[in-house]
Structure 1
Amino acid sequence: MKVELFIPCFIDQIYPETAFNTIKLLQKAGCEVVYNPKQTCCGQPAYNGGFWDEAKKIGLKFLNDFAEDCFIVSPSASCTGMIKNGYDDLFTNSTVHNRCRNIQSNIYELSDFLVNVLKKDYFGAELVGTAVYHDSCSALRECKIKDEPRQLLTQVGGLEVIPMSDQETCCGFGGTFAVKFEGISAAMAEQKIQNAMAVKADYIISTDSSCLIQLQGYIDKHQLPIKTKHIADVLTSGWANI
C-alpha cells in the first residue's frame, strides 16, 4: 500500500527521530512511504491565532503538496484534526472544495491508520517499564481516537500501561494558550505529571509531540524521574539493525 507521509512542524524541527521511526513503522507494516520534501505546515498556528487569510494560503499549499487519491499518514493527531476539521472553515464552497474533501477523507493519524486501515497492532517492539497514556485533546476530541493507541501499546513487550487520574484532561499546551496563559498552562502540566508519577509511571506516552514538549519541558525544569515518548518511538523500541 502506498502512503504519503505528512511530518508536522514540531516533529520536523524538534523530534526528527520520530519522523524516521514513523517511516520505519509504516514500512514494517508493508507500506511504500512517499515523502514530499516541499511540504511545510498545515496552517494550524495561524488558524488558531485568528489569522484565517494566512491559514488559507498555507492550507492551499498543503492541498497542492499532497495527492487526493492516496492515503496520507501523520504522527500527529493535532495536525490531522486541523485538516479534517479546520479546513471546513477555510475551504468549504471554495474552488478547492472537492479536492479538500478528498484529502480530508484520506488523512489519518498514525495509530488510527495502523489499527483501523491496516488492521495491525503488533510490531515486535520492546520497552521495559510502566507507562501512562496521555489522551491529547486533538486525538480524543477532534479525531475520536482513544482505543487505538492503547491497543498498540498493549502489544509492546515488557511495557505495562496503567491508568491515571484525569486521563483525558488537557496537558495545558494548546498552542498559543501556553504563551498567553503561562501560569495556567504550567499548572496544568504539573497536574498531569503529578498524576503520572502518583502511579509510579516511567513514561508518559502520547500521539502528539506538542503535548510531549509541554510535559517534557516541565519535567526537565524540575528534574523529575519520568520521561515522555511519542507512540511511534515506542512502537519501534527494541528493534535491532533496522
Structure 2
Amino acid sequence: MRIGLFATCLGDTLFPDAVRATALLLTRLGHELVFPPDQTCCGQMHVNTGYQREPVPLVRNFAEQFGDRSIDAVVMPSGSCAGCVRHQHQTVADRYGDPALRAGVATVKDKTYELSEFLVDIAGTEDVGAYFPHRVTYHPTCHSLRMLEVGDKPLRLLRAVEGIDLVELPEADTCCGFGGTFAVKNAATSSAMLADKLHHVTSTGAAVCTAGDSSCLMHIGGGLSRIRSGTRTLHLAQILAATRTAPYPLTEAAR
C-alpha cells in the first residue's frame, strides 16, 4: 500500500525516534511511504482547549497534504491525533469551513488510522517480526481506547513479539493524567492521577512501559524519571520496529 505518514507535533519536535520507527516498520512490511513535507499540527490542542475556529487552517492543510488519491491510507503513531482527524476535523469543518473543506475532510478521515489499528485491521498482521527480550507493560491511552476503540490490537501485536515478557498493567484503563492542556490547567489533579499510574507501572517490575501516544509517554516517563524507578518509556512503534538483527538497546538501568 502507499501510505501517507503523519509525524505529529510531538513526534516532529520531541520524539522523532517514534516516527522513524513507524517508518522503518511500515517499510519493512513492504509498504511505500509518502511524507508530505508541508504537514503541520492537526489542530487537536486547539480543539480540545475549546478553540474550534482557530484550527481551520490546520485542518485545511491536513486535508490538502493527505488528500492525494494515490495515498491509500494515512498512518500516525498517535491515537489522539488519529482521533482528532477522524472525529474533530469534521466538527470544525461543519461549523466553520466551506464545502471544499468539508469534502476534503470527509475524504481523508475515512483513510486515517492509528498505527496498531492499521497493522491489524488493514494490513491484516499481528506478527510483524519484532524481537524485544524485555519485560514490558502496556498503557492504553484514553483517545485510542475510548475515541478510536482500538481495543486489544496493541496487545495482540505485543504478544506476537519474540522474546517479550508482557505483563498486565493494573487498572490499565485509568487515565495517566496528561490530557494535553489539562495537565497545565489542572496540575494538581493531573499529578495525583500520574502518581496512581506510576504506582501501577512500577508494581509490574517492567523495564519498559509502552503506549501508542508519545504525549502520555512523555507524562509517564517524566514521572518515572523523577522517582528514579529504573523503568523507561518507549513508543509501541519502537518495540515493533526492533528485530534480532537490529535490536533496541536499553540502558543498563532499565534491563
Q: TM-score range by the shorter chain?
A: over 0.9
Q: Please say if 1:238 is aligned against 2:243.
A: yes
Question: Once the two structures are superposed, what CA deviation does each residue of 1:149-192 show, in whole Å capped at 9, x if it has no partner?
Answer: 01100111111222122110101000001001112111211211
Identify the residue that residue 81 of structure 1 maps to in structure 2: 83
Identify the residue that residue 56 of structure 2 maps to in structure 1: 56
**TM score, norm. by length of structure 1:** 0.95
Identify the residue that residue 35 of structure 1 maps to in structure 2: 35
Identify the residue that residue 150 of structure 1 maps to in structure 2: 155
Identify the residue that residue 197 of structure 1 maps to in structure 2: 202
Opposite residue 233 of structure 1, the aligned amino acid is: Q
**TM score, norm. by length of structure 2:** 0.91
1: CA distance between counterparts of 2:68 and 2:175? 32
Residue 117 (structure 1) aligned to one of 122, 145, 170: 122
Q: Is the 8 A contact 1:29 1:120 kept in 2?
A: no
Deviates more, 1:95-104 or 1:132-141: 95-104
Identify the residue that residue 4 of structure 1 maps to in structure 2: 4
Q: Is the 8 A contact 1:68 1:99 kept in 2?
A: no
SS at match of 2:195: helix
Deviates more, 1:221-230 or 1:105-114: 221-230
**1:132 Cα deviation from its structure 2 partner:** 1.4
Give the total of aligned pairs.
242
SS at match of 1:131: strand
Q: Which aligned segments of 4 or more residues in structure 1 are displaced greater than 4 angstroms?
A: none
SS at match of 1:4: strand
Opposite residue 89 of structure 1, the aligned amino acid is: T
Opposite residue 87 of structure 1, the aligned amino acid is: H
Q: Is the 8 A contact 2:7 2:76 kept in 1?
A: yes
2: CA distance between counterparts of 1:238 and 1:194? 30
SS at match of 1:157: coil
The CA RMSD over aligned residues, in Å, is 1.5
Question: Percent identity, aligned pairs only?
Answer: 32
Residue 222 (structure 1) aligned to one of 211, 227, 239: 227
2: CA distance between counterparts of 1:221 and 1:136? 21
**1:239 Cα deviation from its structure 2 partner:** 4.8
Matches within 5 A, 1:155-174: 155-174=160-179
Identify the residue that residue 141 of structure 1 maps to in structure 2: 146
Identify the residue that residue 251 of structure 2 maps to in structure 1: none
Opposite residue 102 of structure 1, the aligned amino acid is: T
**1:92 Cα deviation from its structure 2 partner:** 2.3
SS at match of 2:133: strand
**1:68 Cα deviation from its structure 2 partner:** 5.0
Opposite residue 8 of structure 2, the aligned amino acid is: P
Gap regions ≥5 residues in structure 1? none
Residue 132 (structure 2) aligned to one of 124, 127, 134: 127
